[in-house]
Structure 1
């Protein structure tokens, strides 16, 4: 078990995430933390914060976000964390109406197990079960299906009880019971923690069913033409791609020596191991061969209600923020191509800050969401530096030395990369509009004015 993400002493608390470091590598300091066990205690926590003009964020038993979505402020004064770790006792299954209502702090695995006891199944779930229902819903966590309504848990939310600030006559906090066609329900479904505190969630269910899984290990020839058909053919399809070679090496050594082949070699050893253990799949506790057949609750599920592809890159992150990554210009160019050329949408709890640039234009109802936030939280009690940057279009605009190395900005000057380590700001090789940190000569280094003049001449 990982340590509790909230560590407190006499001077206050520090919120950590499960990755050990936030995206900006700065600590999240909070004045105090409360642990409600009932909805009324949750309401009183919000009321007290509202009455005393405190900034508020909610965190669950495991803090599984990379950006500071759950950090209330840059300083520890005038802030409070509400932990739902102990608000996790109620799971009410409505068999007749194929629904379940659950406390926000309930973990995904206890929910799945309880639903299965009634012969029912969640329609979709995330790959990782160490998450709370409130966290999964509010961050739009997803999986790998676009069949039906989609593969994200929030696609199947039919009710939310939301605690929001109130006036003095309302006891400084009130509970909104959102159901059916309530215009606030969709906003509360992926609230990003800025609308209030989710108390309870009601999800639609399906009759219990089984799934059959077979893992096929093959080459990547034509993968760009095959993945769409794969997703249409298999409800819970998944593709994992490992660029590889035929030997083995250690990751840090490969990065330090700029050994591209070594990185491919590591992927090969990873694939061999996954083949051996069938990526963790088992028949009756032991892998005996394909297909592996089991109840939905024992298999990973999860996606989008539209034809979409979720792309997840796993990459080396150095111990020091100033240390560049091997071939980081390639991945930065792919990243910028995905988000800016093809208008990819970021994962609210995972992506780097630059990926949220222009996110307001990617959702037709984004302005309605911001409007809903202003209605239920007019004093911005649940807002934070991170949410203000994202919702107000300021993401990636603050530029400092080395900010592009970890996605805090898009480089426009060499100092945004790591010129001391030989990494300079350069134009993309394929996607010319990209600005990436590339290893090479520093002569003719890229500056903001140079890039602007080139862009103007191209647009003619």
Structure 2
């Protein structure tokens, strides 16, 4: 049977930060058969699968046709005994977490944003933190890929294994990820402890802290000498929960983290000279807190202040030196940076285009307000990262091209060759993919 997809509607598309936009025709298939039909009806036009638009780079930017999986967002199967769950690519992490919690399951690690679709989060290498834990893509056990010819490939470690190896972090360049099978774990709790410490102390103890705490991260407000550390320790649910009360949650997460911070950012943009005293005041009033809650509630935070972001992965051992250089660059500049710098860690994995492929990794993420200039600050940090064979997050801003990326990803050429084989006409391409992978052919 030949299935067709209704003609799409024209629409303006923009990502969450507003730094990428396009006019395109939107297709909204439901089910794998309709995805296949949409691919076959593209007829030479570029067709870009797009998730929730939470990437800051141009990776998702559609040039002619946008393939939205908003209607392809269900659960195909869930096995509480094995922990294997198969979901459609358009399901959001937020919805997935809720469904897993109802079944007594959880993702073993998560980032701090849950608005992404499963397919989009995997395609860009989305990750959380934890020296013994991997990125979200390490939890993939199988996937279904619709290629440019309309073929449906079932990929796993035992079926189309050569494609599966690369498709776990695919940049959306190999085809449309229709379904994903994830390995989940029994639901667990996290005890979160947050403490403000001098940055020198944290950098001196960085390897110890990163290696001894299940999920470690810290935030440095530029122009200050202190950081906010976050320790998250895994605990059995049956040990009991001690969540923050409703009033404390509103005060910390809504009022301070969003409303007050939004006012600080707006003030800093109007009056740059106010940034340094505001940052120094903020770190003085940072308090310590400790609470225990379900893992997904501790991993995820709500971010309503819009920003642009660049993030690089470097060898974990290089983090203290690299962070000291970033701090020195900020101190020596005329920039006024109101957003904190975020530091996380991750275990090595075997996924060719994962930021943590083959090495223990630390991540430095820098931010500016959406709409604010970023070239000077991001460019200076990017040059520092280059000295440590830094790998940029695929979904965040960077300037590297295929030649530069081939020097830090040993299997970059093999990935590009697989892309050429599965999509020889560049159906799923856009300018970003041509820059980071090289043009088709």
TM-score computed with the length of structure 1 as normaliser: 0.68
Aligned pairs for 1:11-160 within 5 A: 12-22=10-20, 27-30=21-24, 32-49=25-42, 52-60=43-51, 62-73=52-63, 79-148=64-133, 150=134, 152-160=135-143
Q: Cα gap change, 1:102/1:224 in structure 2, threshold over 3 Å: closer, same or farther?
A: same
**SS state at 1:312 partner:** strand
CA drift at 1:18: 0.7
Which of 367, 371, 377 in structure 2 is aligned with 1:314? Answer: 367
Distance across 2 between alignment mates of 1:295 and 1:257: 40
Distance across 1 between alignment mates of 2:82 and 2:361: 30
| Matching residue of 2:294 | 295
| Matching residue of 1:368 | 414
Aligned pairs for 1:217-296 within 5 A: 217-244=196-223, 259=273, 262-271=274-283, 275=287, 290-296=289-295
In structure 2, stretches of 5+ residues that fail to align are 1-6, 226-260, 301-343, 349-358
Does the CA-based 8 Å contact 1:346-1:355 persist in structure 2? no
**SS state at 1:358 partner:** helix
**SS state at 2:220 partner:** coil
Q: Cα gap change, 1:233/1:201 in structure 2, threshold over 3 Å: closer, same or farther?
A: same
Distance across 1 between alignment mates of 2:285 and 2:423: 50
| Structural RMSD (CA) | 2.9
**SS state at 1:309 partner:** strand
**SS state at 1:387 partner:** helix
| Matching residue of 1:335 | 382
CA drift at 1:80: 1.1
Distance across 1 between alignment mates of 2:45 and 2:129: 39
Q: Cα gap change, 1:372/1:356 in structure 2, threshold over 3 Å: closer, same or farther?
A: closer
Does the CA-based 8 Å contact 2:19-2:370 persist in structure 1? no
Measured against aligned partners, the alpha-carbon deviations of 1:412-444 in whole angstroms (never above 9, x if no partner) come to xxxxxxxxxxxxxxxxxxxxxxxxxxxxxxxxx
Q: Cα gap change, 1:82/1:316 in structure 2, threshold over 3 Å: closer, same or farther?
A: closer
* Highest RCO, 1 vs 2 (Cα 8 Å, sep ≥ 6): 2
CA drift at 1:360: 1.5
Distance across 2 between alignment mates of 1:387 and 1:189: 17
Distance across 2 between alignment mates of 1:387 and 1:224: 36
Does the CA-based 8 Å contact 1:164-1:174 persist in structure 2? yes
CA drift at 1:317: 5.5
Distance across 2 between alignment mates of 1:96 and 1:363: 37
Q: Cα gap change, 1:221/1:368 in structure 2, threshold over 3 Å: closer, same or farther?
A: same
**SS state at 1:383 partner:** coil
CA drift at 1:384: 1.2
Number of positions where the alignment pairs a residue of Structure 1 with one of Structure 2? 342
Q: Cα gap change, 1:266/1:368 in structure 2, threshold over 3 Å: closer, same or farther?
A: same
Does the CA-based 8 Å contact 2:56-2:396 persist in structure 1? yes
Does the CA-based 8 Å contact 2:401-2:435 persist in structure 1? no
CA drift at 1:88: 0.9
